[in-house]
Amino acid sequence: MRPAMRPGTRLWTHFAMRLVALLAAAPLALLGGCHSAPGYPPQSEGPPSSITDFATLYSQNCAACHGRNGQDGPALDLNNPEYLALVDDASLRKWTAEGVAGTEMPAFAESSGGMLTSAQIDALVAGMRKAWAKPNAFAGAAPPPYAQAKSGDPHRGEQAYKASCAGCHQNSPDEQITNSAYLALVSDQGLRTITIAGRPDIAQPDWRHDAPGGKLTTPLTAADVNDIVAYLGSLRNPVALTQAPAQAVDQPAVSKKRQTLSASRAVGGSN
């Protein structure tokens, strides 16, 4: 008995001839457009430390917390022209390299246990400015200075808070920024930054617009901001809740490299 293949043979021959034609055409196509061939390989990626493209660096290292395009993440929006006009390069660099002690902002510089070279940190700082800063973001107004002074007065701060903030921040205790667990996790500088530059992505107004509805009002003075931050700082429960963040200050910014390694070990040797 023969396998039934006779009728198929013509089809096969036809198919084979087409393939031969393709085979002949391929080298011609190659000679024509070698570098435009779909299979032409991309430049080989170097070691991760050779990446200095801002978009790549940002999306690999920052997007999870600061949002895909610097907005709408859980941590403050770096893509906020007012913020970028407020902060100086040295501070941007310092926070990125060394992290913000006692908060969830990790250290990224190799020198602080992170994965990024100092050239990569520079590229991030320059990139944020280039991509997101706008000239004259304050329209001529002069904001309070960026850095928090040590000498805020919590009692005055409480009054200022009631006057300027409570109008919007009057939800149940859990949902307020006065929640002690929340305050235990943010730094004074973080509170100050948000108070001055606002967070447009979550409708927190800047220092000039602290009125219900975010309307323009008398801007907060530098002293107001110092005092409000001192007041919020005084609400952190010093015993129960700050324990561990205080620890984190002692051993600055737990080495990310070590953490990653131990995570990969925890997962088992074979992969």
Partner 1 sequence: MPRMKPSQRIYAWFEQRLQLEGPIADAAFHPVPRTTASWFYVFGSAAFTLFLLQVVTGILLALVYVPSAGEAWNSLNVLNHQIPLGWYLRALHGWGSNFMVAIVFIHMTQVFLFGAYKYPRELTWTFGVFLLILTLGMAFTGQVLRFDQDAYWGLGIGVSMVSRVPLIGGGLVHILLGGPIIAGATLARFFDLHVFVIPGLLLGFALLHIWMVLKLGVNEWPMPGRLVRRSTYVAEYNRLAHEDGIPFLPGAFWKDLAFSAAIVAAVAVCAYFFGPSGPGGPPDPAIIQTNPKPDFPFLWIFSILAYLPPALETPVILIAPILALLALFAVPFVAGEGEKSWTRRPVAVLAVALIAVAWGEFTQLAGTTPWSPHMEAWSSDPIPVHYLRNATPLVRQGANVFQEKQCRNCHSIGGLGGQRGPALDDVATRMTRDQMRFKVVTGGGNMPAFGKDLSPAEIEALVAYLSTLHPANERPAYTPSRPYTDTGSPAATPPPAASGSTP
- Of 182, 185, 179, 180, which Cα lies nearest the Cα of 246? 185
> Which neighbouring-strand residues pair with 116?
109
CB of 112 to partner 1, least distance (A): 15
In the chain, the DSSP E strands lie at none
Contact criterion met (CB below 8 Å) for 107 and 159:
no
Q: Does 205 bind ligand HEC (CB under 6 A)?
A: yes
CB of 139 to partner 1, least distance (A): 28
Residue with Cβ nearer partner 1 (23 or 90): 23
Task: State the binding string over 226-245 for ligand HEC (x if CB under 6 A, else -).
Answer: --x-----------------
Q: Does 68 bind ligand HEC (CB under 6 A)?
A: no
Q: Does 120 bind ligand HEC (CB under 6 A)?
A: no
Tokens of 16: 């084979």
When CB distances are held under 5 to 8 angstroms depending on the partner's kind, the choice from ligand HEC, partner 1, none that residue 164 binds is ligand HEC
Q: Residue 153: which residues within 8 A CB-CB, separation 6 or more? A: 226, 227, 230
When CB distances are held under 5 to 8 angstroms depending on the partner's kind, the choice from partner 1, ligand HEC, none that residue 54 binds is none
CB of 39 to ligand HEC, least distance (A): 35
Q: Does 80 bind ligand HEC (CB under 6 A)?
A: no
Output b/e per residue, 20-51; b: 16+ Cβ within 10 A: eeeeeeeeeeeeeeeeeeeeeeeeeeeeeeeb
